[in-house]
Each structure stands twice: as C-alpha cells, then as structure tokens.
Amino acid sequence: MKFADYLRSQLTDIVDYYQQYLRRTIGPTIIFTAVCFIVAALLLHFTEFSGKAAKTQISLLNYFFLSYSAGNVYRIIDLTKDVFIFFVALFSLGFARWEKEGIPVEITFSLLICKINLKDVTVLAGILILSAVIDYFLFKMDGYSAEHTRNRSIDKYIHGTIFQLRIYIPLILFALGIYVLRTSEKIKLKAKNILFLYISLWLFNEFAYELFMWCRYHVFALVLMPFDKSDSYYLLESVPGIVLIAFFFLGYHSAFTKATSTEV
C-alpha cells in the first residue's frame, strides 16, 4: 500500500470509529479514564516537588501530556501518560475482540471487560513496567548528555530525540502487545508496518495534544472562569477533563490497530 493511500485510509478509519462507536463506548471509556485520574492523583501524592514547583501545583490534566522531571530529578508523575495508554490498550484489546465477533448495540464496561483475560492484563502490565524503566533511563541519558555534551547543537538534537522516544516507545510497545494478544501469533511485521504505525501514532497523538490544549485554554477556562481563584478550580476542571481524555480512546485504538492489521 502506498503511503498516501494508507494515510487516507487511517484518517477515514478514525472518523468512522468516532461516528459509529463514540456514543456506544462512552461508558467504559469514562470508567477507564476515571480510574486513570485516581492513579494519577496517587502518583502525584508520592511525587516530590521543590522550589517554585512545590508552591504552584497544577491540574491533573497537565500530567497526561506534559513532562515535569527536570535536571537530575525524575518524577514518577511523568508516568501518567503511560498509565493512560495502559488503560487505552485494555480498551483497545477488548474492543478489537468485539469487532471480530460483532459490536453490540451498546458496549457496557462489563461487556468490554469480559473480553479481557488475566494473560492480557499481565502482558500489558509488563509492558507498562518496561515502559516506566525505559522512560527513567531515557531521562537519565538526557541529563547525562546535558552535563557532558559541550556542543549545544548536539545536545539540543539529543534532547529532542530522547523527548520523542519517551513519548512514542511506550505507544509502539503497547501497539505491538495488542497485536500479539489479539492475533495469538508471533510478531510478523515488516519495518514498513512499524514505520506506518509510528506515523499513525504521531498523527493522532499530535491531534490529541492540540485538542487537549485548545479545550483547556478556550473551553474549560471560559466555563470555569467564576471559579478561577477558587482552591477547587483544578478539581472542578477534572470533571470535563475526564470526558475529554475519554474521547481519545477510540482514536488511539484506530492508530494502534490499523498498521498492524493492514498489508503495507
């Protein structure tokens, strides 16, 4: 398949998924997202901030797309995005199995969970742990480069590369994990599949980030303006925030599965 044809097909798939299944899957995606917010709150509780950061804590929403590790201090709150992708992977796996059998009129949380077994959870949890370890070592490599690379241009290049790797290695690992669990086969993908997978993930991830930022600063900020000075502002922001994050599940599912189920 030519790249232009694949790209057109991927974008069409994403739109079709939202048109057909957004309302039918809103229940389980909301529940998965709410659990993810609880995990993010726990990670934040065990994350130590210092200096200005300690005094200016921000919304849990930020931790889904932004990084707060700095210098040589790694903060576990940065794993929020990986935890989110773990729940997306669970959803994607269950949804893909229903696709194979025929999607019911409404997919409840219990219907989705019944398609997920202990092996699935174990494998995806293993990928989550592996992603966390990789993220930590990439962060340390970035810090080492900053301290020991004298050429500023080279350091900027290394920093930019590591930044991208921290985002997309977990996404690709989870996509491959879903492929193996869904097909019960050993990975038989070509380099072209992986390249197209990366492109699919990059496209939707960038869209998700831009929509996230736009909603926060133009929709949530307007609606919550009366509570701007309130201590409960960020708690209130989490309510529409859960809906926003839940919206991304179907798009990531399409990006996860398209390149690994298409002859490219």
**Each residue's pLDDT tens digit, 206-254:** 999 999 999 999 999 999 999 887 878 888 898 999 999 999 999 999 9
Residue 204: pLDDT over 50: yes
Which class for 53: exposed (0-12), middle (13-18), buried (19 or more C-beta within 10 A)? middle
pTM, entire model: 0.91
More confident call, 114 vs 259? 114
pLDDT in tens, 36-63: 999 999 998 888 765 555 445 567 888 8
Q: What CA–CA distance (Å, rounded) separates 180 from 178?
A: 6
Pull the structure tokens for residue 218. Answer: 């133009």
Coil vs helix vs strand at 114: coil
CA distance 252 to 4: 20
Residue 77: which residues within 8 A CB-CB, separation 6 or more?
40, 43, 44, 47, 63, 68
> Where do runs of H (alpha helix) occur along 184-248?
191-214, 221-223, 233-247
Across 112-125, average pLDDT: 96
- pLDDT score recorded for residue 264: 58
